[in-house]
């Protein structure tokens, strides 16, 4: 099956990318803490992880799948100390059986004001 983009209605990126694609029944997506206008949310890691997870949930729904079908989640943060807040929010987002997950500390993102980015994979039934 050929890959196809998912219409998420998230703000268009200036970069050449799709917010999500599906190929062979698997959703591939990367989500960032942007609001409906495409601005990175202010206020630190807590509002940013909440927005990023909201964007992920919206994208899963747009693709016809759900949080329960996540298979792997890669969480990137710029500050190791932010992982406690990320874990608190993430724990309210997923349920057992949990998807595979990794947390990676990075030096920064393409948008300097971003503190978090999530890459996720999910089964699309």
DSSP readout, 43-63? SSHHHHHHHHHHHHHHHHHHT
pLDDT tens digit sequence for 49-79: 999 999 999 999 999 999 999 999 999 999 9
Instruction: Locate the domains of the chain by residue range.
Output: 23-123
Task: Check residue 56 and give its pLDDT.
Answer: 98
Longest CA pairwise span in the chain (Å): 42
Task: Check residue 1 and give its pLDDT.
Answer: 67
pTM over 0.95: yes
Task: Check residue 82 and give its pLDDT.
Answer: 98
- Cβ atoms of residues 6 and 65 within 8 Å: no
Q: For 23-123, CATH number?
A: 3.30.1330.40
pLDDT tens digit sequence for 19-46: 999 999 999 999 999 999 999 999 999 9
């Amino acid at each position: 099956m050929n890959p196809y983009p998912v219409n998420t209605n998230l703000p268009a990126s200036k970069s050449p990318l799709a917010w999500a694609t599906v190929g062979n029944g698997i959703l591939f997506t990367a989500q960032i803490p942007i609001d409906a206008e495409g601005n990175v949310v202010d206020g630190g890691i807590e509002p940013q992880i909440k927005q990023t997870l909201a964007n992920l949930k919206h994208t899963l729904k747009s693709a016809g799948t759900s949080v329960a079908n996540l298979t792997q989640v890669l969480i990137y943060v710029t500050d190791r100390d932010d992982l406690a807040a990320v874990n608190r929010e993430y724990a309210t987002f997923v349920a057992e059986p949990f998807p595979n997950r990794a947390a990676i500390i990075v030096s920064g993102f393409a948008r300097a004001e971003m503190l978090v980015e999530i890459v996720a994979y999910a089964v699309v039934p």
